[in-house]
Amino acid sequence: MKRLIPILLSALLAGQTLAADLIDTVRQRGTLKIALEGTYPPFNYREGKTLTGFEVELGQELARRLGVRPEFVTGEWSGLLAGLQGGKFDVVMNQVAVNEARARVFDFSRPYTISSAQLVVRKNETRTLSGANLKGTKVGVGQGSNYADLARRLDGVEVKVYPGAPEYLQDLASGRIDAALNDSLLIPFAIRESRLPLKAGAPVGSTATMAIPFAKGNPGFKRAIDQALLAMQQDGSFARISNKWFGQDVSQPPAARKAD
């Protein structure tokens, strides 16, 4: 019996370690490991060697309020959620839309952006293009994006897949495709940076909420990041960061977001 006591204690302690909430792990480590693409302006991208963007600044503020330092990890979108599931980092901050399939695998923070899919068209476009009348058109989308899946569900649309926004915006301006589809929050920035004769078109589909995914079974961590995000919204910090990058509070529904 005496020999069993140390074994039982070890098993109990091991169980407690395994059951530790992520917030305890993060605070003990002193860092919040945040995964993002680093190639998705204005949300997260590099200026030279420096990571910047809306989600980078938001991640920095979130980590500060948790009492730790942010540790950013960059990677391709296709591997971010798989890496999170494998425990390579604590959270992903990369405009991750909340849906049923993802919610079965991860828990999510309170939403921090609300957006919708939106068309991009040429400035001299005379047709009134919308999700309901794209039959017979060619629509450009980014490879592996939610918008590629959405475009394939539109009736009679020929979907053209590109590595990213610069490529399909160039083809759109050149007349090789009729429209492009992307995030309503990204489009004004992308058009401005491209310096091409393009404009934002009609929204497509319903709005989507974006939040921060993390491993299930961490109620303390969820409570901590939800409280931090709420406090940012209440004290104006979130609006300050949002207005810097978008000129509006992106936590509010996109009632009428248009670019000239």
Domains by residue range for the chain, with CATH: 19-112+211-246 (3.40.190.10), 114-208 (3.40.190.10)
DSSP 8: H
Q: What's the mean pLDDT in 56-65?
A: 98
Q: What is the pLDDT of residue 186?
A: 87
Q: What's the mean pLDDT in 57-73?
A: 98
Q: What is the pLDDT of residue 19?
A: 61
Q: What's the mean pLDDT in 53-80?
A: 96
- What residue has token string 């039982």? 8
Q: What's the mean pLDDT in 35-51?
A: 93
Q: How far apart are CA 219 and CA 223, in angstroms?
A: 6
Region of residue 158 (phi > 0: left; psi between -120 and 50: alpha; otherwise: beta): beta
Under the banding of pLDDT at 50, 70 and 90, the label for residue 11 is very low
DSSP 167: H
- For residue range 115-168, what is the model confidence (pLDDT) as tens digits? 889 999 999 999 999 888 999 999 999 887 778 889 999 999 999 999 888 899
Under the banding of pLDDT at 50, 70 and 90, the label for residue 213 is very high
- For CA atoms 234, 240, 246, 248, the dihedral sign is positive
Average pLDDT over the chain, rounded to an integer: 89
Q: What is the pLDDT of residue 252?
A: 84
Q: What is the pLDDT of residue 16?
A: 46
Is residue 83 within 8 A of residue 222, CB to CB? The reply is no
Q: At what angle do helices 237-246 and 187-194 cross, to 10 degrees?
A: 40
More confident residue, 78 or 235: 235
DSSP SS3 for 97: strand
DSSP 126: -
* Angle, CA of 233, 237 and 242, to the nearest 5°: 85
DSSP 254: -
Q: What is the pLDDT of residue 3?
A: 53
Q: 256 pLDDT exceeds 50?
A: no
Length of the chain (residues): 260
Q: At what angle do helices 54-66 and 22-29 cross, to 10 degrees?
A: 90
Q: What is the pTM of this model?
A: 0.78
Q: What is the pLDDT of residue 40?
A: 87
Q: What is the pLDDT of residue 189?
A: 86
